């Protein structure tokens, strides 16, 4: 791991400690551009870690401090996600699969962070989970089942009864947002092949996820 300090951080508020991990993609051309932005005082954004496509790992903000990666949003009724989380950026444009070396390094990092901070698999989330109205990363190409097979993320298999989608999404933890935005975020996370208008498949998948919590 390489130390590449960013000035964009502060203390965690109200004595909070890391209790979740938020995964992002950089949405930029490459690692150098992403590092420059995450360490630019004028940009006022940062993350704790960034992983390149080749598996190279940088740390920019100490775990104990509050990085500026999540922005406005909420998860399971909790606000100020920056004070409650560790942010991990993955170098990816958002349109390509995530590289094997990158995923392997992410698995190593998650294992270490989850053990160190006692973070459960259910608390490893997508940026789009906590901010569905404005974010879509890490997107439908991210391999959540792969992480779940190692207890590094939450991915229940199967489908449940055909229940109201909004009620299931509330139970899972999605914050208020336009219905189509919440559906898009849910699909990216738990039903990445789905398209079109809301269907019974969406509702049954969401009911399964909600029941498994």
Indicate which residues carry an active-site annotation: 89
Instruction: Please say whether the beta carbons of 47 and 61 come within 8 A.
Output: yes
Using CA atoms, how far residue 95 sits from 91, 128, 142, in Å, is 11, 15, 10
Q: How many whole angstroms from its chain centre is CA 52?
A: 16
> What single string gives the DSSP state of each residue in 146-171?
HHHTTTSS----S------HHHHHHH
- Count of other CB atoms within 10 angstroms of residue 205: 22
Give the separation between CA 126 and CA 137, rounded to whole angstroms: 7
Locate the DSSP E strands across 34-172: 49-51, 57-59, 65-67, 85-90, 124-126
As given in the structure block, the two tokens for residue 155 are: 């991915």
């Amino acid at each position: 791991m390489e130390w590449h300090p960013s000035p964009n951080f502060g203390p965690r508020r109200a004595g909070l400690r890391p209790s979740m991990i938020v995964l992002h993609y950089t949405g930029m051309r490459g690692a150098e551009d992403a590092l420059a932005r995450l360490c630019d005082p004028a940009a006022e954004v940062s993350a704790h870690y960034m992983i390149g496509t080749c598996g190279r790992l940088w740390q920019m903000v100490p775990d104990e401090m509050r990085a500026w990666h999540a922005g406005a949003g909420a998860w399971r009724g909790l606000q100020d996600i920056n004070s409650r989380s560790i942010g991990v950026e993955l170098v990816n444009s958002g349109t390509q699969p995530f590289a094997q070396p990158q995923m392997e390094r992410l698995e190593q990092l998650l294992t270490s962070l989850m053990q160190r901070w006692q973070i459960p698999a259910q608390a490893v989330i997508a940026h789009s989970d906590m901010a569905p109205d404005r974010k879509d990363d890490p997107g439908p190409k991210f391999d959540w089942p792969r992480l779940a097979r190692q207890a590094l993320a939450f991915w229940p298999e199967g489908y449940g009864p055909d229940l109201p989608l909004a009620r299931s999404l509330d139970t899972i933890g999605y914050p208020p947002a336009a219905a189509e935005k919440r559906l898009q975020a849910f699909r990216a996370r738990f039903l990445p092949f789905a398209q079109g208008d809301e269907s019974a498949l969406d509702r049954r998948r969401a009911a399964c996820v909600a029941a498994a919590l």
